[in-house]
Amino acid sequence: MQSKKTSIDVSHIAKLASLPLTKEEEELFSKQLSSTLSYVQQLGEVDTKNVEPTAQVTGLMNVFREDSIVPGLSQEEALKNAPGQHNGFFKVDSIF
Partner 1 sequence: MTNTYEPVIGLEVHVELKTNSKMFCGCPADHFGKIPNTQTCPVCLGLPGALPVPNKRAIDWCIKLGLALNCTIPKESKFDRKNYFYPDLAKGYQISQYDKPLCVNGWMQINERKIRIRRVHQEEDTGKLQHTIVNNERLTLVDFNRCGVPLVEIVTDPDFHTIDEVDQYVKKLQRIIRYLDISNADMEKGSMRLEPSISVRPVGIVALPNYRVELKNINSFRFVRKAIEYEINRQSEMLDKKETIVQQTRGWNESKNVTLLQREKEEAHDYRYFPEPDIPPMQFTDEFVGSIRKQIPELPDEKKQRLMEKYTVSEATAEILTQSIPLADYFEQMVAMSHISATVLANALVNQSVDIQHVRPEEFLDLINKKQQEKHVDSGLVMIAIETVLTSNLKAVEDYKKGKTTVLMYLVGMVKRELKGKGDATIIEQELKKRLV
Partner 2 sequence: MTIKDAIHALQTKKFSSKELVQGCLDQIQKYDNHLHAFLTVDDKNALSGAENADSLLHQGIKKPLLGIPIALKDLFSTNQLRTTAGSKIIDNYIPPFDASVVTKLKDAGAIVIGKTNEDAWGHGSSGENTDYEPTRNPYDTTRVPGGSSSGAAVAVAAGMSLAGTGTDTGSSVRLPAAFCNLVGIKPTYGRVSRYGILSMASSFDTIGHMTKTVYDNALLSEVTAGFDTKDATTVDVPVPSYTQALGNKVRGIRIGIPKEYFEAQGMQKEIQETIQAAMKDFESLGIQFKEISLPHTSYAMACYYILVPSEVSSNLARYDGVRFGHSRNQFGAEAKRRIMLGTHALSAGYYDAFYKKAAQVRTCIKNDFEEAFKQVDVMMMPSSPTIPFKIGEKTSDPLSMYLSDIFLCPVNIAGIPGLSVPCGFVGTLPVGIQIVGPQFSEEQLYVLADAYEKINTWYTQVPNMKAI
Site for partner 1 contains 52 (CB under 8 A): no
DSSP 5-47: HH---HHHHHHHTT----HHHHHHHHHHHHHHHHHHGGGGGS-
Q: Which stretch binds partner 1 (CB under 8 A): 3-11, 26-34, 40-48, 70-78?
A: 70-78
Of 13, 37, 16, 36, whose CA–CA distance to 25 is shortest?
13
Site for partner 1 contains 58 (CB under 8 A): yes
Instruction: Decide: 21 and 29 in contact? Cβ < 8 Å.
Output: yes
Site for partner 1 contains 48 (CB under 8 A): no
Site for partner 2 contains 34 (CB under 8 A): no
What is the total count of residues that contact partner 2 (CB under 8 A)? 47
Of 39, 41, 40, whose CA–CA distance to 1 is shortest?
41
Query: Least CB distance from residue 88 to partner 2, whole Å?
Result: 13
Which of partner 2, partner 1, none has residue 83 at its interface (CB below 5 to 8 Å by kind)? partner 2
Site for partner 2 contains 95 (CB under 8 A): no
